[in-house]
Structure 1
Amino acid sequence: RKYTAIVSLEQRQHYKDDFNAEYEEYKNLHVQVDKINKDFMQFHKQWKCLVPSSEAYQ
């Protein structure tokens, strides 16, 4: 486990700095994943409306 229980203000600040250093990248990745998820949900919705024997379904 990388992070142990916080026992000092210095340790707390170190953890906070680590979090803040990575948080912007996390937010950007989250936006990308969310967009991809929405795209797949839209594709699935469209796919459900297709007739199984149609060329578009294949």
Structure 2
Amino acid sequence: MNKVNLLFVCSENSASSQMAEALARHFYAEQFDISSTGDFADTRQLLKSSLEFPRP
């Protein structure tokens, strides 16, 4: 059986498309080739996340 490509796209690729990809892979991995992308990286979110990382 040939798998259908399934692509999730969101702006800034901050989290939405990755969450959708993970859920789709969990439930539909046998039927679809699943991936995600965004139109550009949200560097503000990356910077915020790195500042919030707990340090020992």
Query: TM (normalized to structure 1)?
Result: 0.27
- Indicate the structure with greater strand content: 2
- Indicate the structure with greater helix content: 1
Higher relative contact order (CA 8 A, sep 6+): 2
Greater C-alpha radius of gyration: 1
Query: TM (normalized to structure 2)?
Result: 0.28
